[in-house]
């Protein structure tokens, strides 16, 4: 019944208007794994790191039910490194440095015991790497979700579309939905993208929430307005992790349950941005998730019948 998570495990240097964090733990795989571990504890992480990555970080994840058979460690190489600076509005950022290091020559090789899983989260990675994981599975998972970003649309659109064709759920942001579809209206963009393969499209709008598109309808989950956002890094990955962790826990892919998963993804993402790196994600517990879920439900709560 495992949840396989593909995603980078890396170091990040992050500058925001509220401070700077130097070479902290980051990467889509890290955020997805931490976020999903709050809902599910049979997670297999697929990624690659160098000899410089701290063992205690891996141990902390293992203690949460994240197994490392699929994690390749290259002792003599360095882990992926990204540095970025957020603008004042936190909605946009500049990349200051990207050192691929171990990612330069990475093709995942899945050990036999993780080739059959029920849930697969293809975190943001080169489309070729995402495809390679899909291709090595000996059984089609019950649910396959993928995240990606505009970078891959710019340089590898055909490869990307080949992966999108094979997934059930695609999560991208609003600008990426426009780029991928060539449509400005998100309704039209969703129509085009749902023709490309996925049965579900989630459009992430950052501080403006997220939209789920499916043939049964649309659903909107707001972002919780917060007193302070310290660091948006990993918010989308945390969202995907909470979403998939909840779906793996409940094993229910009805539209109604997908909507609940969208709320839990938003809950986890709302915590993620409140500290630098994945620190807050590590610190929260079941009580914290319950409390914030109630805040979301209150924010969305409406009791009305249509005018007679």
Q: Where do contacts with a copy of itself occur on this chain (CB under 8 A)?
A: 88-89, 184-188, 205, 208-209, 211, 217-222, 225-229, 256, 259-260, 263, 286, 289-290, 293-294, 297-304, 306-307
CB of 185 to a copy of itself, least distance (A): 6
Q: Indicate the residue among 39 and 125 with the shorter CB distance to a copy of itself.
A: 39
Q: Which CB atom, from 165 or from 290, has the smaller least distance to a copy of itself?
A: 290
CB neighbour list of residue 168: distance below 8 Å, 6 or more residues apart: 143, 144, 145, 198, 199, 200, 253
Give the DSSP letter of residue 286: H
State which residue, 113 or 185, has the beta carbon closest to a copy of itself: 185
* Angle between helix 255-272 and helix 286-300 axes, rounded to 10 deg: 110
Q: Which is nearer to a copy of itself, 197 or 222 (CB)?
A: 222
Per-residue burial over 246-270, b if 16 or more Cβ lie within 10 Å, else e, is bbbbeeebeeeebebbbbbbbbbbb
Cβ–Cβ contacts within 10 Å for residue 105, how many?
10
Residue among 195 and 286 whose Cβ is closer to a copy of itself? 286
- Smallest gap, in angstroms, from Cβ of residue 91 to a copy of itself? 11
CA gap 284, 272 in Å, rounded: 10
Q: Whole-number minimum distance, CB 164 to a copy of itself, in Å?
A: 21
């Amino acid at each position: 019944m495992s949840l396989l998570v593909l995603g980078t495990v890396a170091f990040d240097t992050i500058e925001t208007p509220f401070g700077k964090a130097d070479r902290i733990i980051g990467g889509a795989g890290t955020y997805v794994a931490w976020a999903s571990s709050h809902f599910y504890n049979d997670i297999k992480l697929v990624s690659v790191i160098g000899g410089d990555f701290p063992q205690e970080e891996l141990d902390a994840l293992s203690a949460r039910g994240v197994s490392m058979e699929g994690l390749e460690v290259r002792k003599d190489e360095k882990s992926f490194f990204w540095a970025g600076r957020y603008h004042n509005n936190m909605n946009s950022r500049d990349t200051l440095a990207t050192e691929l290091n171990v990612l330069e020559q990475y093709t995942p090789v899945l050990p036999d015991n993780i080739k059959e899983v029920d849930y697969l989260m293809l975190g943001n990675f080169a489309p070729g790497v995402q495809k390679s994981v899909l291709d090595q599975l000996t059984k089609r998972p019950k649910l396959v979700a993928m995240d990606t970003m505009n970078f891959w649309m710019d340089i590898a659109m055909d490869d990307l579309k080949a992966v999108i064709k094979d997934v059930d759920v695609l999560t991208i942001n609003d600008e990426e939905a426009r780029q991928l579809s060539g449509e400005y209206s998100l309704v039209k963009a969703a129509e085009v993208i749902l023709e490309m393969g996925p049965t579900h499209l989630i459009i992430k709008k950052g501080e403006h929430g997220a939209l789920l598109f499916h043939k049964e309808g649309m659903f909107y989950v707001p972002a919780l307005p917060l007193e302070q956002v310290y660091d948006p890094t990993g918010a989308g990955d945390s969202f995907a992790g909470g979403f998939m962790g909840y779906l793996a826990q409940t094993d229910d892919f009805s539209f109604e349950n997908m909507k609940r998963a969208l709320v839990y993804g938003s809950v986890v993402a709302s915590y993620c941005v409140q500290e630098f790196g994945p620190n807050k994600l590590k610190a929260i517990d079941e009580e914290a998730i319950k409390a914030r879920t109630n805040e979301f439900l209150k924010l969305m709560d409406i009791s009305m019948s249509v005018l007679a």
